[in-house]
Chains A and B, each alone.
Chain A
């Protein structure tokens, strides 16, 4: 008997197996999960390319985007007759579409990313705070969120942008304000559920203060959900900025964003379709990539579903064919 007892490991093996591998190299595991899913990996590469283009592209192309060449106006795309820079055609002033798209990518991202980050941080902090304390804080936060949600966001943007000038900073502020309720609601729901859990009670009995419970026990569990919401929301914010620019109350010329380019090209729809088509396509490519990555992140951050990504793709189809819901 005694020999058999000695054989029993000190810790349960399942816990060791389950925790050792991600602890050792958390980042490597994520990369392997991403590399396993070819579509999500492509999406991540595309997003990285867009980001790099926005960061370094305007530096590399110099003043190609602004150099006017009226002899070459409205040249059709997909020919190298007018040089590499004009491979996607030229606009009515003879400026290279490709160069303008690159410059516009920076404006578009410099509105979308700060708006998402600001709304995510403010919304989740208020949401977790409201959900943790419940009571009047929760009621007030939810009512405010309801009010913002029930007001057509485009209308709010239109009105605010007319009060203040439609500068990039104001657009960021308006978009961030209208997207706060999304994070607020998500964070509140999860935090309200978590604050009644046993481990939060345990932390309370140890005398941990509310802020430290929120940051150390609530935040790590809510974070994956919030990140997924933020990735998806990035698409929404980008589309909203484009809509505003399209309506003429977003980014103002001589600045250029993808949405504004679609609007400017609209007048030439009969003669030069590429003026509106390519900027819109750039928006679609970016948002589709973000959507795919969000779908991947939702599975990858859910411990109950993560196994789907560890199985090689060919074998995955066999698992899903059994009728199990994805």
Chain B
């Protein structure tokens, strides 16, 4: 808990400093012909004239009160904008992760259970594509093939279930490939462990051996990787949201950076960092659920 809070604070601090380094928003928001007095008024209104440390102090007080100030672009509350965009990304990421985990477990277990079978080759192919296909190219080729040539899917937007297919497929290639390989590797070693032989010899069926004995032990490494991949989904989300016009947090971040909208950027990054922080805690809790060796010392 303590160790995962440290990155959170550094991210907060880093975003504040880096955002200030990206340049002065005054010149971007006021016309070229603005007078010196107008510039000063703008800086005064948004607090850019105060010393950096004071700004930092205000920033942290604001963070505690969930107040990030108002967007320079729209004049809305920055935290409201971030919270409005967040569900879209969360839905996309959660659906992707769920599908990837289920798919990886099914294909990975099958591949480990039958080495060199069709499923095994398929799992190698998946991990190969996951590691080597650029997501933006996959998305664009998908749009070209299914939206332009065949006309069965929409090119962008969030209307209807069909609009979800391409963004989710694009986001999923990498997690699915990596996870399948991890599940397969962990299952191969779990299936050759003595306790699996014991389970077989006491008469447990194949399905039971795989799901109840081997998979529970193979789940821990898969969980670690799934956590890292979920963090990486943020990267993918920026690209996917930019291509498909998905109104999520990734698009909000890119727009905020391009337009020097500090308040929105800080709110969006903090929201992302907090969700990664919560995710890490949830993963730690899942470890305890899965593995009695992790759980045991806590009781003593």
A residues with CB within 8 A of B: 143, 146-147, 149-155, 158-160, 162-163, 232, 235-236, 239, 242-243, 246-247, 259, 262-263, 266, 269-270, 273, 276-277, 279-280, 283-284, 287-288, 290-292, 317, 320-321, 323-326
Which single residue of chain B is at the shortest CB-CB distance from A232?
B131
Known A-B contacts A269-B140, A277-B144; the reply to A143 vs B115 at CB < 8 A is no
CA distance A161 to B10 in the complex (A): 20
Known A-B contacts A149-B231, A150-B231, A247-B254; the reply to A155 vs B269 at CB < 8 A is yes
In contact, B131 and A280 (Cβ under 8 angstroms):
no
Closest 3 CB pairs of A and B: A280-B137, A287-B132, A154-B235
Of the listed stretches B11-19, B53-61, B204-212, B215-223, chain A binds B11-19
In contact, B21 and A163 (Cβ under 8 angstroms):
yes
With A158-B253, A262-B134 already in contact, 13 other A-B pairs whose C-beta atoms are closer than 8 Å = A146-B7, A147-B6, A150-B4, A150-B273, A154-B234, A159-B15, A163-B22, A239-B135, A246-B136, A263-B136, A273-B148, A287-B134, A291-B131
In contact, B239 and A276 (Cβ under 8 angstroms):
no
B119 at the interface (CB under 8 A from A): no
CA distance A326 to B189 in the complex (A): 11
Known A-B contacts A160-B18, A246-B239; the reply to A269 vs B11 at CB < 8 A is no
B242 at the interface (CB under 8 A from A): yes
Q: Pick the contact of A276: B8, B144, B238, B272 (CB < 8 A).
A: B144
Q: Closest CB of chain A to B73's CB: distance in Å? A: 16
In contact, A288 and B137 (Cβ under 8 angstroms):
no
CA distance A290 to B132 in the complex (A): 9
B23 at the interface (CB under 8 A from A): yes
Q: Pick the contact of B116: A160, A163, A273, A320 (CB < 8 A).
A: A320
In contact, B23 and A162 (Cβ under 8 angstroms):
yes
CA distance A277 to B15 in the complex (A): 36
CA distance A159 to B266 in the complex (A): 12
In contact, B131 and A235 (Cβ under 8 angstroms):
yes
In contact, A276 and B141 (Cβ under 8 angstroms):
yes
| B238-267 interface code vs A (CB 8 A; 1 in, 0 out) | 110010000000000110010000000000
A326: chain B residues within 8 A (beta carbon): 115-116
In contact, A321 and B116 (Cβ under 8 angstroms):
yes
B143 at the interface (CB under 8 A from A): yes
